[in-house]
Structure 1
Amino acid sequence: MGRLICTVLGLLMTCAVSAQQSGKPNIENVSNCFRGSFSDHASWVGFMKKRLLARGLDKHKVKKRMSGFLARFPEVEFNAFKQNLSCHIFTYHVDGQDVAGYVIKPKQVNEKLPVIIYNRGGNGNYGAVVFGSMMANLFPLAKEGFVIVGSQYRGTFTQDDDLDEFGGQDVNDVIALADIIPHLDGADSQRVGMIGASRGGMQTHLAMQKMSGVKAIATIAGVVDLNKELAFRPEMEKVYSKRIPNYQAAKTAQLARRSVINWVEDLPKNVPVLLLHGKLDKRVSVENSIRFARALEREQIPNKLVVYKDDNHSLERNKQAVFSVLSKWFHTHL
């Protein structure tokens, strides 16, 4: 018989048997996000202050940094999220690799909730979804009545972060979440959407080539044309060269395959696309989202483009507006 893996923290509806034996997801190492240094707000503050001091910053710089931290992550908000949300991290297995994942959802809900797969940006360990980014970007959305599930992508949080192929085999880590969703307590596997942030936009469109059942997607400063991005931000050559297999020998083909702008006609015609972008974005050009919206129009794919004129890559100045737009979008389409 397959090895029985029971989750006592309520992550899954049932125990999952080894995927090779039963076809069910192999979930291990489940733990609460609100633990250790994140068990309460005071512990988190102490942890952050200790890190700053360890970097050799003088007390004035530490005080200034901590002031900004407390403004961004106030205690009352932390306590409200802890009281009302369930958050767990776990390990799952894809292509023989251990991959870190997480699930965030409201507590004490009497009905199944729509699910949003969140595809993060960055590459390798850079951009990993740590506790702070969960609180800033995912807790507010989960609070609106969604189950949020996501992958850190293979290699993240390990010494072997070169496993990330920037739109290569790592896309399988996103696709594999579809097998986990039906086993998440309180998740409605018939109402699934997907969000891609920055590089996560690329992951979203690549995953959609092999996934079915996703009813709506949204991208935030999504990468849709790697060649255009390279012209806009030449330093990305270092990332492409390091991450993308066979890059030097087949650069044109590798970039084209990862760029949805080249195969818009292959996208499903019944999955609406929301595009959010800051006009002042210096990492991913807003012009690419504008071009992509026009391409979607030509293919008669339902879409909505929202450009925030006074904002940058992270849409930090319009966070509440972004959460409102995302919540309305997915509650409408899921």
Structure 2
Amino acid sequence: MNKYLLICTLVFSSFATQASNLINDESIKDQKNCFNHIFKDYATWRGFIKEKRQKRIKSEEKLLKGMAAFDSMFGEEKFNQYKNNLSCITFKYNVDDLEVSGYVIKPKSNKKKLPVLIYNRGGNGSYGSVVFGSMMHNLFPIANEGFVIIGSQYRLSRTKGVLLDEFGGKDVNDVIALLDYIPKIKGADEKRIGMYGFSRGGMQTHLVLKETSKIKAIATIAGATDLLKELDFRPAMEKVYTKRITDYGKNKVAELEKRSVLNWVSELSPNIPILLLHGEDDKKVSVNNSIELASALAKNSIPHKLVIYPKDDHGLIKNKEKANEELVSWFREYL
């Protein structure tokens, strides 16, 4: 995770305050405005980041360089544009008797109902949570183009010694549950729902599609499509699988195959188009995952588009604007 996004992780949930409800449902709790406290304006947010950095960076030159990078990634002009144009809340909802956190981002001014995108984040446990910095960098640009975005942080990584995030197990229910709230979001078109996911979120996206027919189009960014084969590329993921997946030690192959869309491509609907985005030099999830899935989709006559970005890595940092344009164009065409 980018270091600026990581810093935001430490404070985002603590600094949101009550907002006007975007979801009209009594079962939804703690709807809070994203743009408040240290995120109320760019200067306050920037000052917080600078203060945090000053405590560990003694070199003035390095500090200035770091803040310049922060401004380059975010910037006051973009911040103000998004604050003026978008409504953003965090909220809590219940799934399987567990409290789960989520968020909604939507344009403030819309005279007609807007298409909805469910976003599935990457990471595992609390790592990779969608905090303010990642919202602004990854989600605000998409919502600003005329989409309602709703997403889940997935169930907590641990409670009373029990692991909850099963990395594609019961946590998939946390995403499916969001479908019930979309009709309750003012200005959201419940008949035009798309879904996209990053990294682990790509896996979540395919797993959700097995359980619902409400999704009209999907996209994945750097998604793993064959988790067993991927272990040869990135052996370190064995630790994540061992920690997260129930009975992994006993049923390793079966559990990974259940989470790997390449094993059940023939079951995918020919009516749901799939966009695949991947960096050629991805060090975390091999680009072959998307290449091989595209080949399998073609053999099964499933509509799709594969875009590979040369010399780019996992987060498509070098091609962020181009990737966003692909996403917006894809969902405008199919929703």
TM-score by length of 2: 0.92
Displacement of 1:306 in angstroms is 0.4
Counterparts in 2 of 1:110 and 1:10: CA distance versus 1, 3 Å: farther
Opposite residue 266 of structure 1, the aligned amino acid is E
Displacement of 1:123 in angstroms is 0.7
Number of the residue aligned with 1:208: 209
Q: 1 CA distance for matches of 2:51 and 2:167?
A: 33
Number of the residue aligned with 1:257: 258
Question: Are the aligned partners of 2:112 and 2:187 in contact in 1 as well (CA < 8 Å)?
Answer: yes
Opposite residue 317 of structure 1, the aligned amino acid is K
Number of the residue aligned with 1:295: 296
Within a 5 Å distance, the mapping from 1:81-230 to structure 2 comes to 81-155=82-156, 162-230=163-231
Number of the residue aligned with 2:8: none
Q: 1 CA distance for matches of 2:91 and 2:162?
A: 18
Q: 1 CA distance for matches of 2:157 and 2:241?
A: 17
Number of the residue aligned with 1:317: 318
Q: 2 CA distance for matches of 1:125 and 1:165?
A: 12
SS of residue matched to 2:248: coil
Opposite residue 262 of structure 1, the aligned amino acid is N
Q: 2 CA distance for matches of 1:75 and 1:124?
A: 31
Question: Are the aligned partners of 1:154 and 1:161 in contact in 2 as well (CA < 8 Å)?
Answer: no
Q: 2 CA distance for matches of 1:221 and 1:48?
A: 29
Q: Which runs of 5+ in 1 are unaligned?
A: 1-6, 18-25
Opposite residue 219 of structure 1, the aligned amino acid is T
Tell me the alpha carbon deviations over residues 43-90 of structure 1, each in whole angstroms, 9 at most, x when there is no partner: 111111122234465443332221111111110110000000111100
SS of residue matched to 1:229: helix
Question: Are the aligned partners of 1:155 and 1:161 in contact in 2 as well (CA < 8 Å)?
Answer: no
Question: Are the aligned partners of 1:225 and 1:288 in contact in 2 as well (CA < 8 Å)?
Answer: yes
Q: 2 CA distance for matches of 1:304 and 1:57?
A: 48
Number of the residue aligned with 2:240: 239
Q: 2 CA distance for matches of 1:204 and 1:229?
A: 18
Displacement of 1:229 in angstroms is 1.3
Displacement of 1:242 in angstroms is 0.7
Q: Identity over the aligned pairs, expressed in percent?
A: 56
Tell me the alpha carbon deviations over residues 8-60 of structure 1, each in whole angstroms, 9 at most, x when there is no partner: 61402x3x24xxxxxxxx20000000011101001111111122234465443
SS of residue matched to 1:176: helix
Q: 2 CA distance for matches of 1:241 and 1:86?
A: 39
Q: 2 CA distance for matches of 1:242 and 1:223?
A: 18
Question: Are the aligned partners of 1:125 and 1:161 in contact in 2 as well (CA < 8 Å)?
Answer: no
Question: Are the aligned partners of 1:221 and 1:276 in contact in 2 as well (CA < 8 Å)?
Answer: yes
Q: CA RMSD in A?
A: 1.7
Number of the residue aligned with 1:39: 40
TM-score by length of 1: 0.92
Displacement of 1:178 in angstroms is 0.4
Counterparts in 2 of 1:332 and 1:161: CA distance versus 1, 3 Å: farther
SS of residue matched to 1:191: strand
SS of residue matched to 1:101: strand
Opposite residue 94 of structure 1, the aligned amino acid is V
Displacement of 1:332 in angstroms is 0.4
Counterparts in 2 of 1:162 and 1:58: CA distance versus 1, 3 Å: farther
Q: 1 CA distance for matches of 2:247 and 2:60?
A: 48
Opposite residue 217 of structure 2, the aligned amino acid is A
Q: Does 1:11 align with 2:28?
A: no
The count of residues paired between Structure 1 and Structure 2 equals 318
Q: 1 CA distance for matches of 2:51 and 2:159?
A: 23
Q: 1 CA distance for matches of 2:183 and 2:298?
A: 33
Q: Which runs of 5+ in 2 are unaligned?
A: 1-17
Q: 2 CA distance for matches of 1:329 and 1:186?
A: 21
Q: 1 CA distance for matches of 2:54 and 2:210?
A: 47
Opposite residue 92 of structure 1, the aligned amino acid is Y
Q: Does 1:68 align with 2:76?
A: no
Counterparts in 2 of 1:152 and 1:326: CA distance versus 1, 3 Å: same
Which deviates the most, 57-66 or 284-293? 57-66
Opposite residue 9 of structure 1, the aligned amino acid is S
SS of residue matched to 2:181: helix
Counterparts in 2 of 1:248 and 1:164: CA distance versus 1, 3 Å: same
Q: 2 CA distance for matches of 1:326 and 1:134?
A: 16
SS of residue matched to 1:150: strand
Opposite residue 163 of structure 1, the aligned amino acid is L
Q: 1 CA distance for matches of 2:160 and 2:199?
A: 24
